[in-house]
Amino acid sequence: MEQRSESQIQAELEAARAELSSTVEELSDYFSPKANMERAKADAQQKARALAGRAQNTVEQAGAGKPEAIKKVAAVAGGALLLGALLVRRMLK
């Protein structure tokens, strides 16, 4: 086994400290509440965009006369009307 000099050992220790410090910073950032909120927000925005894209596609298909898409749009419209009626009824009580 080759003998290491004091300066080599010191350099290895400094490199290990720097790597450990970097790892601790990464873990701290990953587990911070703010970072978790940002990741959750980005995830929710991505899902909302995907859902909006699917809804737009369904409406376009309904406009093109596709029966399955028309059924979906009608069901959503009926649900929205029912929800609106329930909200109005509750407000009038």
| Domain residue extents for the chain | 6-92
- The neighbour count for residue 62, using CB atoms within 10 Å, is 17
Angle at 47 between CA 46 and CA 53, to 5 degrees: 90
Q: How far is CA 46 from the centre of its chain?
A: 6
pLDDT one-digit tens code per residue, 38-60: 999 999 999 999 999 999 999 99
Over residues 68-83, the pLDDT tens digits come to 999 999 999 999 999 9
Whether pLDDT at 1 is above 70: no
pLDDT of residue 75: 95
pLDDT at 12 over 80: yes
3 secondary structure, DSSP code: P
Share of the chain above pLDDT 70, in %: 99
